[in-house]
A = this chain, B = another copy of it.
Amino acid sequence: METLTENCERIFAEAQKASRQLAQLDNRKIAGTLVAVADALDAGTTKILEANAHDCARMSPQNPKYDRLLLTRERLKAITDDLRRVAALPSPLGKTLAENTRPNGLHIVKISVPVGIIGVIYEARPNVTVDVFSLCFKSGNVCLLKGSHDAEASNVAFVRIIRETLQKEGLDPAVCALLPTEREATVLMLNAVGKVDLAIPRGSRALIDFVRDNARIPVIETGAGVCHLYFDRHGNAAMARELVFNAKTRRVSVCNALDCLIVHKDRLDDLPQICEKLESKNVTIFADGRALPALSGHYPATLLLPATEESFGMEFLDYKMSVRVVDSLEDALEHIARHGSKHSEAIVSDDPAAIEKFQKNVDASCVYANASTAFTDGGQFGFGAEIGISTQKLHARGPMGLDALTTYKYLIFGNGQTRP
């Protein structure tokens, strides 16, 4: 009987072998295989739903995770539609990124290639299993999937069909592997230096912290966003009202949702108008010492509370928002530098100089002028797909499309050159 360590080591070794085969496939074969997987998942709908029912039976429907775990015919259809869409995207591989001929005649070509083996650690969303496989496979990468115990039967059902299809297509099924659900397995993967090229955690802050703190292999962090909208002295209040409403209430559980409105002191009178639509969604406002009196009498008293120091730098993920009043653009920048998470920040202003200063100064992956932070998303950016939103600066920042799953190598063509 294999121990957990032996099991994982076998998976890593098989992945390395599969990775070399995968790197040789052309985009036609890759796209065709993804479509074949979509067809096989459609044909396997009943089996997948049975497995999912087994997982759901073990969780209380009152559990907030229940809805994420639950699959339906419609949701499965959306999953395989997405798979076909990814199949049809242009390949991110084999692109010439740069090219140059040196004085000695050496010709150097920088081309995009797969990263290799990518481990993705996620929680009880079985759709992520198919999503991650499709993006990794499309970009020539082996994926090692570490789902949660809650979704085990669903994940096993998905991966079984994926691997059967790969095999039918003459490919090594090890390009898609499910790790054992024990947390031990995650730790082994995060320490598989030289065997696993990259780990991507997708899920809660706690999961991301666990991955970063335990990894010796490279990690791309995704997730947390503390987002601000600064209403400048020269801002359009009606526009701010719409942007604040959209960024705060479109989906409160996402990382690009607005957490804090910053208002220039000269425009305090506009604050009631800017906040007026939030009432319809019962948004609780934590207002600072100057914002509170400005809103009193305009915004429902039951939804209006004084801000505390904790109200700032907080990712609410809820119908809650803080409001801070500042004396200047500089103070707004200072507030964002101190409390932001370098994710998405916005300014509403008609003053080009203020916009330029804001965009130049704010250190965040996405810096908006007169638009909602809700656009921070690979699809909205035109990437065709998204593996996540990176909150770090290395390798990939902000919304990550297929390109973020590639690296490069240099091909150097010579005719006998030696270095003096």
Is the Cβ of B23 less than 8 Å from the Cβ of A410?
Answer: no
Is the Cβ of B116 less than 8 Å from the Cβ of A382?
Answer: no
Is the Cβ of A410 less than 8 Å from the Cβ of B20?
Answer: no
Q: How far is the CA of A392 from the CA of B366 in the complex (A)?
A: 27
Is A180 engaged at the interface, CB distance under 8 Å to the other chain?
no
Q: How far is the CA of A218 from the CA of B395 in the complex (A)?
A: 10
CB within 8 Å of B: which A204-242 residues: 212-213, 216, 218-220, 236, 239, 242
Is the Cβ of B371 less than 8 Å from the Cβ of A106?
Answer: yes
Nearest opposing residue in chain B for A413, CB measure: B369
Residues on B with C-beta less than 8 A from A281 are none
Is A417 engaged at the interface, CB distance under 8 Å to the other chain?
yes
- Closest Cβ of chain B: how far from A59's Cβ, in Å? 31
Is the Cβ of A242 less than 8 Å from the Cβ of B418?
Answer: yes
Nearest opposing residue in chain B for A214, CB measure: B216
Interface segment out of the listed A84-92, A262-270, A373-381: A373-381
**A interface residue numbers (CB < 8 A to B):** 20, 23-24, 100, 102, 106, 108, 113, 115-116, 193, 197-198, 212-213, 216, 218-220, 236, 239, 242-243, 245-247, 250, 337, 359-361, 363-372, 374-375, 380-382, 392-395, 397-398, 407-419
Selected from B218, B394, B398, the residue in CB contact (under 8 A) with A409 is: B398
Is the Cβ of B394 less than 8 Å from the Cβ of A381?
Answer: no
Selected from B213, B219, B368, the residue in CB contact (under 8 A) with A412 is: B368
Q: How far is the CA of A286 from the CA of B418 in the complex (A)?
A: 23
Is the Cβ of B381 less than 8 Å from the Cβ of A410?
Answer: yes
- Closest Cβ of chain B: how far from A89's Cβ, in Å? 16
- Known A-B contacts A393-B198, A407-B394, A408-B397; the reply to A417 vs B115 at CB < 8 A is no
Q: How far is the CA of A392 from the CA of B193 in the complex (A)?
A: 11
- Closest Cβ of chain B: how far from A139's Cβ, in Å? 13
Is the Cβ of A369 less than 8 Å from the Cβ of B411?
Answer: yes
Q: How far is the CA of A324 from the CA of B245 in the complex (A)?
A: 68
- Known A-B contacts A115-B394, A365-B409, A409-B398; the reply to A419 vs B382 at CB < 8 A is no
Known: A365-B410, A366-B412, A372-B418. 8 other contacts (CB 8 A): A102-B380, A106-B371, A242-B416, A359-B411, A369-B411, A371-B412, A371-B415, A394-B394
